Amino acid sequence: MKKVVKFGGSSLASAEQFIKVGNIIRADKERSFVVPSAPGKRFSADTKVTDMLYGCYALAEEGKDFKKELEAIKARYQEIIDGLHLELSLEDEFKTIEKQFKDKAGSDYAASRGEYLNGIIMANYLGFNFIDSAEVIFFDDNGVFNAELTNEVLSDRLSKLDNAVVPGFYGAYSDGRVKTFSRGGSDVTGSIVAKAVKADVYENWTDVSGFLIADPRIIPNPEAIEVITYRELRELAYMGAGVLHEDAIFPVRQEGIPINIKNTNKPEDKGTWIVGSTCQKSKYVITGIAGKKGFCSINIEKDMMNTEIGFGRKVLQSFEENGISFEHMPSGIDTMTVFAHQDEFLHKEQKVVAGIHRLANPDSIDIESDLALIAVVGRGMKSTRGTAGRIFSALAHANVNVKMIDQGSSELNIIIGVANEDFETAIQAIYNIFVVAQL
């Protein structure tokens, strides 16, 4: 059995955390391919190394002196090296980084050095091979990840090795310039490596014991999710559940590789298994609840709208012309509502409204702001009658006014729109009716 293990920034923030990680890897000889993140926060008021690098490079780009900031970054790594009692010097690496900063190598290069340097330390600590991700993970000239070339090169490289450390978060363009994934992209690297070595399991180690049914900032000590499908995870991640980068699903999903979310500080916990499909029933009707604030609704009315061919396309054309994506689009016979991110829509609202009038000639347009969307997700909802009714009942009992409800044909999720101010109350009410009531 082959296991690819990825460790997040909080798992590698200090020498103490590194030792925990080393013990986890050495406890299972099948954990032979490691993907590290950059050092995260050691305590709540601390700064992540990636943010330190961004700040340092910003000074370099402005032509200002950045020596003090670079020394602070160097000190963070030296603290880890000393704590692990390694005979390792990063002096030459930092000389290269300093030169590249002065030559304005780019913010992607700057940010990637966090994972790169941590990867060198990790490989040295474990006695593993080190592979620079810029040599094996590729992007095209438009900055789009080249999955086919990456898998070909990475598979060939790793097939010759019994173990390896491959830093997360970055790769390179065809000309060798460093390109990063979006924040949290080390999850994606782990998934890419898992696909390349045809791993049996991709373990993603972080500072929580898997996914929780709801946000612990809203629900105190929410129940954990034992098993979740890729599709359920996509729905929850899209609506803000942030344990795993949502794009990390695709490479392993294609190969049928399960992901196990584990806690570095509590390695004995089962964590959450993310799988393609399962016959295991959820403990509750719902798998999870997630949501976001900051939406607005554009309500369009026109008599006989349902008989006008192409009306919806004309409305959406105005959003497209102004570079605005929409989230949901519930409709009735003579009404149609488009939900969009308020911060995207706000500065272009009159252009969009004018475009809708020009293209679709509606009877009226009404805009409502400060809305939140909540996704209630669960494979168990399909076989359970009355789920939507229970949601409505719970929200009515909590005095929450529902602005919108939208259920997909897959019956995997129900999207509810409420006022921003009712967001937390709504999530608590839904959690209570489906989880607390069943305990």
Q: What angle is formed at CA 358 by the lines to CA 353 and CA 362, rounded to 5 degrees?
A: 70
Looking at the fold, whether 161 and 47 belong to one and the same domain comes out as: yes
In a domain, 242, yes or no: no
Shared domain check, 294 and 173? no
Please report whether residue 20 resides in a domain.
Answer: yes
21 and 151 in a single domain? The answer is yes
Residues 320 and 428 in one domain: yes
CATH of the domain at 392: 3.30.2130.10
Q: Say which amino acid occupies 327.
A: E
Range of the domain at 110: 3-207
Q: What are phi and psi of 399, to 5 degrees?
A: 60, 40
202 and 318 part of one domain: no
Establish if 266 belongs to a structural domain. Answer: no
Of 207, 232, 253, the residue at which a domain comes to its end is 207
Decide the pairing of beta strands 3-7 and 201-206. Answer: parallel
Q: Is residue 39 domain-shared with residue 135, that is, in the same domain?
A: yes
In a 13 Å sphere around the CA of 109, the CA atoms on its Cβ side amount to 20
Structural domain contains residue 239: no
Report the side by side order of strands in the sheet with 364-377. 326-328, 335-341, 288-301, 364-377, 413-419, 404-407
* Domain-located, residue 248: no
Same-domain check for residues 293 and 200: no
Shared domain for 151 and 44, answered yes or no, is yes
* pTM, 2 dp: 0.84
Mark which of 207, 225, 259 sits at the end of a domain.
Answer: 207
Q: Which of 207, 236, 256 is the last residue of a domain?
A: 207
Look up the CATH number of the domain holding residue 50.
3.40.1160.10
Contact 325, 340 (CB under 8 A): yes
What is the sign, positive or negative, of the torsion defined by CA atoms of 413, 414, 417, 422? negative
Q: Tell me the pLDDT of the chain (439 aa) as tens digits.
A: 899 999 999 999 999 999 999 999 999 999 999 999 999 999 999 999 999 999 999 999 999 999 999 999 999 999 999 999 999 999 999 999 999 999 999 999 999 999 999 999 999 999 999 999 999 999 999 999 999 999 999 999 999 999 999 999 999 999 999 999 987 788 999 999 999 999 999 999 998 888 899 999 999 999 989 999 988 888 888 787 766 777 788 889 889 999 999 999 999 999 999 998 887 777 889 999 999 999 999 999 999 998 899 999 999 999 999 999 998 888 888 999 999 999 999 999 999 999 999 999 999 999 999 999 999 999 888 778 888 889 999 999 999 999 988 887 667 889 999 999 999 999 999 999 999 987 6
Mark whether 8 and 138 lie in a shared domain. Answer: yes
**Does residue 229 fall inside a structural domain?**
no
Long-range contacts of 113-117, Cβ-Cβ distance < 8 Å, separation of 24 or more: 113/53, 114/37, 114/38, 114/39, 114/48, 114/49, 114/50, 114/53, 114/169, 115/36, 115/37, 115/38, 115/167, 115/168, 115/169, 115/170, 115/186, 116/167, 116/170, 117/38, 117/77, 117/90, 117/93
pLDDT per residue as tens digits for the range 320-355: 999 999 988 888 889 999 999 999 999 999 999 999
Identify whether residues 190 and 295 lie together within a single domain. no
3-state secondary structure the chain: CCEEEEECHHHHCCHHHHHHHHHHHHCCCCEEEEEECCCCCCCCCCCCHHHHHHHHHHHHHCCCCCHHHHHHHHHHHHHHHHHCCCCCCCHHHHHHHHHHHHCCCCHHHHHHHHHHHHHHHHHHHHCCCECCHHHCCEECCCCCECHHHHHHHHHHHHHCCCCEECCCCEEECCCCCEEECCCCCHHHHHHHHHHHCCCCEEEEEECCCCCECCCCCCCCCCCECCEEEHHHHHHHHHCCCCCCCHHHHHHHHHHCCCEEEEECCCCCCCCEEEECCCCCCCCCCCCEEEEEEEEEEEEEECCCHHHCCCHHHHHHHHHHHCCCCEEECCECCCEEEEEEEHHHHHHHHHHHHHHHHHHHCCCEEEEEEEEEEEEEECHHHHHCCCHHHHHHHHHHHCCCCCCEEEECCCCCEEEEEEEHHHHHHHHHHHHHHHCHHHC
The count of structural domains within the chain is 2
User: Is 60 among the domain residues?
Assistant: yes
Q: Is residue 276 part of a domain?
A: no
